Amino acid sequence: MQFKFIYPLALLTAFVITITEGDAIFRGKITGVYPVPPTPKITYVSPHVAISPYDSHFRAAADTLQWDWKLIAAIAFTESRFDSTATSEAGACGVMQVMPATLRGMGVPDSLHMDTRTNIMAAAELLDYLDHLYRRIRNFEERTNFILASYNAGAGHIGDAMNLAEKYGRPRYVWNENVDSFLIRKGLPEYYTDSVCKNGSFSDWKQTLSFVKKVKRNWRRFERMQTRYSDSIATLMAKDSTIRIKE
């Protein structure tokens, strides 16, 4: 008799153990006892190539002008090599080499003339004025020549050169081999004493012509840097789904 009850009891015990273990396994999955794969960590990268410590200021200035920020960076690099403490012999100061008289005319106190952000935003205001001054030049590439030349030499001297070009039958809104050649002649009395000239002699034409070319060359260089950077980011994103462009 004892033997009859031992076998069913053994089966019942085995059944209870099986159910208990199964329940433990089930509960283990629910409560996280068993490891869940971690969520991939997203890495955000800037869409902009790093050119200088002041890139965010250049982009802010570019937003006010609706310009390419790398053009403003190119002006700063050509003017000061991104040296925010630079002061020229003529007195131009800061990373954008703005003249103190210009800064004061904008209401910038002397104590902020060397402040990097203030200096860059003041330069942007000047560039905006020049952009408006030459608004009749529809082609931006051409208009940039006049803006850069005026930024360096002053709009008065560039205006005189434009007037001379027109007087001698040359186009007043074309820089290369036209207005630039009359800026060169403004160092000669027969030209700067002409009635169409209002701002006297100008002898620093070599610096101005060089400045225009250097800024545009540096601008193109920064553009190439941006292209290479963008291509490298695109390659990384194609290989790694955790990389994202920061908005």
What pLDDT, in 10s, does the model give residues 105-139?
999 999 999 999 999 999 999 999 999 999 999 99
Q: How buried is residue 38: exposed, middle or buried, by Cβ count under 10 Å (0-12/13-18/19+)?
A: exposed
Q: Region 93-101: what's the mean pLDDT?
A: 97
% of the chain at pLDDT higher than 70: 86
Q: What is the pLDDT of residue 25?
A: 44
Three-state SS at 234:
helix
CB 50 within 8 A of CB 58: no
Catalytic positions are 79
CA distance 37 to 71: 47
> How far is it, in rounded angstroms, from Cα 229 to Cα 47?
8
Q: Is the pLDDT of residue 14 over 70?
A: no
Residue 219 predicted with pLDDT over 90: yes
Angle at alpha carbon of residue 154, lines to 152 and 155, rounded to 5°:
125
Global confidence as pTM:
0.82
Q: Given a cut of 90, is residue 220 above it in pLDDT? A: yes
- Which pLDDT score, from 0 to 100, does residue 9 have? 46
SS3 content of the chain, % helix, strand, coil (to 5): 65, 5, 35
Q: Which residue from 170, 169, 123, 168 is spatially nearest to 150, judged by alpha carbons?
A: 123
Report the Cα–Cα distance between both ends of the chain, in Å, rounded: 82
Is the model's pLDDT at 30 over the cut of 70?
no
**pLDDT for 236:** 86
Q: What is the pLDDT of residues 61-94, one digit of tens each?
A: 999 999 999 999 999 999 999 999 999 999 999 9
